[in-house]
Structure 1
């Protein structure tokens, strides 16, 4: 990749993430292109469409978190039930508290568990659920848990209550 293309990619991801986080999921591609100092066509050539751009921003902002969370979730020295609850708590921190506007934009693309496929952290959760409860449909239950963290579930000022409820749901899904 050319040096200017690498720079443009970094700038676009940063600017798009900042705009989405500060102004919500309705930010236009025109606004992103203008703020990044590139043409709108560059966004479409690089990311395909708005959904591709949003996915790239979320992937960039979750990459380091995912590496650490995946390592903890894979630690077989810790019981699978405990790893699943810890993963859900970490997901809550990321999805609801740190990246809520970005995740709302992702929900519009149906990439966070509301659509046909699970994000990679959802796949990890489904595997942990299946390890704890082999008779259960781990993928479905992971979608239910992740779905309980969607932006429309979060009432301003009620994040702590939602966290308690999401963790209680997870504990219930996992059984005693």
Structure 2
């Protein structure tokens, strides 16, 4: 049986909840400080509406992340399909895009990891990043276990680590991106196609 279309008022409530949660996490000093009560009040809906629609806090956070990632997915696919880029460059672009997203949404992403959205490794967004990265690594010469390497590279940009480095260690986002590019060189080894004197993974 075909699924019934969502009522207009229900769709408006959903969008209001996602926007309110997104704004609250972005403005919060800690991922722990945003409660379901806060989100319901900011969205102008009852707390029960949140639980009926999203199940629990983890479900709500997962929905916010999905809404934030949708335009990024499209941009990443376009970048991956761009002519003239090597597999190694595609790996760096994927990692850099994921890092920039986590820098900009570190409270939201830390909240997702804390809430255990089925475990960070079972979350839909993690599976998408891992799959894209593994496929790119499969084409990089010298990578013998693309599946594990993709997991290891993503572990280097966990949201809690990104938040610690930027908020506690006062590392700049650009400094973090450069450090990630250098780390990728360490993992994959020298790039034989790079120009002499230039880092193979320069951003």
Please classify the TM superposition score into its range, dividing by the shorter chain length: 0.7 to 0.9
Residues in 2 aligned to 1:126 and 1:80: alpha-carbon distance in whole angstroms: 11
Using the TM superposition, give the Cα deviation of residue 173 of structure 1 relative to its aligned residue in structure 2, in angstroms: 2.7
Cross-structure match for 1:142: 150
Task: Identify if the C-alpha distance between structure 1 residues 115 and 161 changes in structure 2 by more than 3 Å, giving closer, same or farther.
Answer: same
* Number of residue pairs the alignment of both structures matches: 175
Residues in 2 aligned to 1:164 and 1:135: alpha-carbon distance in whole angstroms: 22
Kept in 2: contact 1:54–1:106 (CA 8 A):
yes
Residues in 2 aligned to 1:135 and 1:90: alpha-carbon distance in whole angstroms: 21
What residue ranges of structure 1 are gaps of 5+ in the alignment?
A: none
Query: Larger Rg: 1 or 2?
Result: 2
Residues in 2 aligned to 1:135 and 1:89: alpha-carbon distance in whole angstroms: 19
What residue ranges of structure 2 are gaps of 5+ in the alignment?
A: 1-5, 192-203
Question: Quick check: 1:163 aligned with 2:169?
Answer: no
Please list every run of at least 4 consecutive aligned residues from structure 1 whose deviation after the TM superposition is greater than 6 angstroms.
none
Residues in 2 aligned to 1:171 and 1:110: alpha-carbon distance in whole angstroms: 31
Tell me the secondary structure at the aligned position of residue 168 of structure 1. Answer: helix
- Report the RMSD for the aligned CA atoms in angstroms: 2.3
Cross-structure match for 1:47: 54
Cross-structure match for 2:69: 62
- TM-score normalised according to structure 1 size: 0.87
Higher helix proportion (structure 1 or 2): 1
